[in-house]
A and B are shown apart, each in its own frame.
Chain A
Amino acid sequence: MRLQHNKELAMHTFEQQLPKPQRAKRWLVATVALASGLAAFAAAADTTVRVLRVEISDVEKQYYDDVVAEYEAQNPDVEVIFEYIANEAYKTRLPTLLQSDQRPDIFYSWGGEGLRDQVEAGFVRDLTEAMQDGWQERYPESAVRAFTLDDRVYGAPLYATVVGFWANTALTEQAGVDIEAIETWEDLEQAVVALRESGITPAVVGGKDGWPMHFYWGYLATRLAGGEGIEAAKQGENGGFEGESFVRAGELLQAFVELDPFQSGYMSTSYERASAMFGDGEAALHLMGDWDYIPSKERSATGEGVPDEDLEFIRFPRVEGGEGNDDSFGGMNGFAVTRDASDEAVDFLRFLLNEENQREAARLGIFVPVANGSEEELDTPYARKVAEILSESNFHQVFLDQALGTSVGATVNDISGDLAQGVITAEEAAAQVEEAWQFR
């Protein structure tokens, strides 16, 4: 009886307990289902493509967001993430990032020797084969060349920039200078003299930053030696960077500075300040990239800058006897892919840089894209002028402070400032560049 009671009790307890495992089971099933659901969801984006770019305007960020959304809609198994780092920090952090586990799949690049360092260290994927199927044909040859090292292509171009003189015609007319008639370097010198005589500051330059002054020396060297001549100097031909053209570039710059073309205290002026000063109408000319159109307006006191009817963008003048009078000088910016990146990364890059997206960028006016035909969409006369200069250009020389690599580039910036201040002679300047190139 007692036993039975116990048994009954046991039975009772058992029955009572019965639903519990069942409940647990139900939970288990639900969890498994949820987990598998999550797994299925995770499988929906099993490849992540990380893109690292230099910090940009919100308009351009929106442009990338739109491109990414479109790509992800077409390729549900790929997720693309854009990350941004400020310009100077980007340059110093990239070497460390590329060597870490956090390396991006696609990164922003200026091509040239900086890219060569990364290629030689084995961090960059060779895109030569990938670009054969019509991808490369989208762009003019000069654009691809900026990313070509020893006949292998290591990157794809996004946009080009050109350096030229931004001119305030209200001021030049006041001094009786016809800005359209400035064809040669002598014309420019005469214009500077005329402007000074009328009490107008001929030009602003952001001497504190180095690179704006390098535009003078760099463009003069490009005009004199030509893009091919600079390539030859890199190989050590014709005396390398100590060659005649580079010395002459220094001499021309020093003779130009003798005419007192710049605002007072120009060596303590940053690019941003110079850009604002031009926007405020404090000087007639500003040798700067085409990208300064909006920034100069935004930085001016009124926020309006020089009104469009008074604003001109003119070509850098020709230099008599120069080899590079048909060449252009500016930037060629694009993207490179890291070595271990997935094929999806290459595929996304191909999509990002396709003609339609390039046209869209032109329509939005965020930059001057390089893809053939995309210039038709350009809105402002300035952007069209840039596209015209680029298409007529025989050789698009990338900024010397980027094309020659970080170290030599910084030396080029230094000697440009030193020349303007008369601290060194043109020969010494050329010798310093050659020495830096040898030691690189």
Chain B
Amino acid sequence: MTTMTRPAARRRGFADRMRKNMASGRLAAALILLPPALILFSLFVILPLADAAYYSVFSWNGYGSPSDFVGTQNYARLLDHSVFHTALWNTTKLIIVSLLLQMPLALGLALLVYRKTPTNTLFRLVFFLPYILAEVAAGLIWSFVFDGDYGITAFMFQALGQESVHVLADRQWAFPAIMTVIVWKYFGFHMMIYIAALQSVPQDLIEAAKLEGAKPRQVALFVQIPMIKHAIVVSGFFAIIGSLQIFDIIIPMTNGGPSNSTHTIVTYLYTFGLSRLNIGFGSAAAVVLFVLAIGIALFYQRATAKEEQA
């Protein structure tokens, strides 16, 4: 019953709103103020996207204009490529690690240092430092740390009198090493979101819980964390979208190797599309990445919105 009346009500609401907007001059304001943003958005977001979609149905090496129409062949080849499967799986792993390891770690640390004291400020700074560092610089630093010839790893193993290991040359361990670096690099960012949220949790709620005999752990679990749920949802969103975009840490660390085992979707599209001058193929990968990102974003928003309503 309600579902039947709703569209009608909505339509009436829309017409009413339009009338009201016209009268108040809001529509005129929108018409005047919208174009700059709209033009910029179409020029730098919509147009390149449309271009990529167009290129993706051609076999094109970047010379001249695309003319060799191949239909969905680029997509078929992409979905069939074992390295692309690895890249998808690696990206999934990054999302899982971000959500299940990085965010709890950030939350735990945020609960420890959110109160405003001089020591906490120091710790916050230390924890936030990796995030400030440029990605490429971080990648280079860690490739030195993992270096089995001259790096810190080599030094440690030599000190213990052991044969050194080459983590980044090992297909099994290279990606876990990259995931470690990514957790290290971005947990500070999530921690900062939680700290900001924790500081706005009303103090009297915490006091009340304490008076009721709640232990610090219980205060955190039943008062603070539920109160900063919106911040956790936002940071989760950043974690997922960020994982889909990981590129500049991997390039200096492994460049996608050894034998293409550490690619993410973005390094994949860069390596196999751009640097090999398969622009059509790379565009197909870009379109797939875009669809994935939009799909996940919409799904995530739906899922979290529903939960908030419930």
Contact = CB atoms under 8 A, between A and B. Distances in A.
A361 B77 CA distance: 47
B164 A264 contact: yes
Contacts of B95: none
B276 A98 contact: no
Interface in B133-190: 147-149, 163-166, 168-171
B278 interface: yes
B62 to A, nearest CB: 4
Given A273-B149, A417-B259, A123 B169 contact: no
B141 to A, nearest CB: 15
Contacts of B220: none
B171 A421 contact: yes
Chain A interface: which size bin?
20 to 34
Contacts of B257: 208, 210, 267-268, 417
B149 A265 contact: yes
The winner among B169, B259, B275, B278 for most chain A CB atoms within 10 A is: B259
Contacts of B148: 264-265, 268
B170 to A, nearest CB: 8
A423 B258 CA distance: 10
Contacts of A112: none
Given A208-B255, A268-B258, A418-B259, A122 B64 contact: yes
A22 interface: no
Contact of A421 (B164, B166, B258): B258
A363 to B, nearest CB: 37
A118 B255 CA distance: 27
B277 A267 contact: no
Interface in A88-134: 88, 91-92, 95-96, 98-99, 117-118, 120-123
B241 interface: no
Given A406-B277, A417-B259, A421-B259, A264 B63 contact: no
A269 interface: yes
A266 B258 CA distance: 10
Chain B interface: which size bin?
20 to 34
Interface string A214-234: 000000000000000000000
B163 A264 contact: yes
Interface in B258-302: 258-260, 271, 274-278
B255 A264 contact: no
B62 A439 contact: no
A249 interface: no
B61 interface: yes
Given A268-B148, A273-B149, A418-B259, A439 B61 contact: no
A122 B254 CA distance: 37
B53 to A, nearest CB: 20
Nearest to A435: B77
A410 interface: yes
A357 interface: no
B258 A95 contact: no
A119 to B, nearest CB: 10
Interface in A199-245: 207-208, 210
Interface in B100-154: 147-149
Contacts of A393: none
A88 B258 CA distance: 20
A123 B63 contact: yes
B169 A98 contact: no
B149 A99 contact: no
A250 to B, nearest CB: 14
Contact of B277 (A98, A207, A407): A407
A207 B258 contact: yes
Interface in A5-47: none
A259 to B, nearest CB: 18
Nearest to A410: B276
5 contacts: A117-B277, A208-B254, A267-B166, A417-B259, A418-B260
Given A117-B63, A265-B169, 18 more contacts: A92-B274, A99-B64, A117-B277, A208-B169, A264-B148, A264-B163, A264-B166, A265-B164, A267-B169, A267-B258, A268-B147, A268-B166, A273-B149, A277-B149, A406-B61, A414-B259, A414-B260, A423-B259
Closest 4 CB pairs of A and B: A265-B166, A121-B63, A268-B169, A267-B169
Interface of A: 88, 91-92, 95-96, 98-99, 117-118, 120-123, 207-208, 210, 264-269, 273, 277, 406-407, 410, 414, 417-418, 421, 423, 439
Interface of B: 59, 61-64, 77, 147-149, 163-166, 168-171, 254-255, 257-260, 271, 274-278
